[in-house]
Amino acid sequence: MDGAPAGGALIAWRLVRPAFADPAAAFSGEGARRYGGRWNAPGRPVVYASLYLSLAALETLAHADRRRFERDYVAFEVRVPHELILELRDEDLPDGWRARPVGAGARAVGDAWLDQRASVALSVPSVLVPQERNLLLDPAHPRFTEVRIGAPQRFRFDDRL
């Protein structure tokens, strides 16, 4: 089951375009470094993943350019040891964390997490489905090597989407 304990690890999923099917590219954090994300300012590498493959697909669709949407993707199963994950509690969410465009509060929380190096991963609620979680990974963290990245798997969005 996605997100369930697996040998002391949490399972998460990352979807990428085929051009980034190499794990080194998929887990470099380069896209977030270039453009920033909800939980990081530009210049800060972060890898975004979701605890469910379906949530990863929904997140991908929400950020897709509908005019150039490619249906073929690559999925990576990611196993992160529980002791390497810090969970952002609901009461610690900044005001406007779901705002669009992205507000400074959520980015400040993520950037502070990166600066503190308190964990390899930060569990945050999804803006799209707040009852479910996304996982931010710090590829520059010294213990990132303990994250287990599965082999790339073909993933294709249904034509109805």
Three-state SS string over 50-119 comes to ECCHHHHHHHHHHHCCHHHCCCEEEEEEEEEEHHHEEECCHHHCCCCCCCCCCCHHHHHHHHHHHHHCCC
Over range 25-43, report the average pLDDT: 96
**pLDDT tens digits, residue range 121-130?**
999 999 999 9
| Closest C-alpha to 85, from 46, 59, 58, 124 | 124
Note whether residue 52 is domain-resident.
yes
- Does residue 3 belong to any structural domain of this protein? no
Are 13 and 78 a contacting pair, CB within 8 Å? yes
Structural domain includes residue 103: yes
Residue 2: is its pLDDT beyond 60?
no
pLDDT at res. 4: 53
CA pair distance 138, 32, nearest whole angstrom: 11
Check whether 77 has a pLDDT greater than 90.
Answer: yes
Distances 94 to 4, 38, 71, 91, 109 between C-alpha atoms, Å: 27, 12, 34, 8, 8
Give me the residues paired with residue 121 across strands: 85, 137
CA-to-CA distance for 18 and 24, rounded, in angstroms? 13
Q: Is residue 124 part of a domain?
A: yes
Residue 149 predicted with pLDDT over 80: yes
pLDDT score, position 103: 85
- The tally of domains found in the chain comes to 1
4 within domain boundaries: no
Q: How many other CB atoms sit within 10 Å of the CB of residue 75?
A: 20
Q: Which residue has the higher pLDDT, 110 or 1?
A: 110
Contact of 18 with 75, CB cutoff 8 Å: no
- Cα of 141 vs its chain's centroid, Å: 15
Evaluate whether residue 135 is within a structural domain: yes
**Confidence at residue 1, expressed as pLDDT on a 0 to 100 scale:** 37
Domain hosting residue 133, numbered range: 9-156
Mean pLDDT of 30-42: 95
Tokens 């989407």 identify what position? Answer: 161
Looking at the domain assignment, is residue 51 inside a domain? yes
What is the rounded distance in angstroms from the CA atom of residue 37 to the CA atom of residue 41?
6
pLDDT at 35 over 60: yes
Q: Does residue 71 belong to any structural domain of this protein?
A: yes
On average, the pLDDT of the chain sits at 93
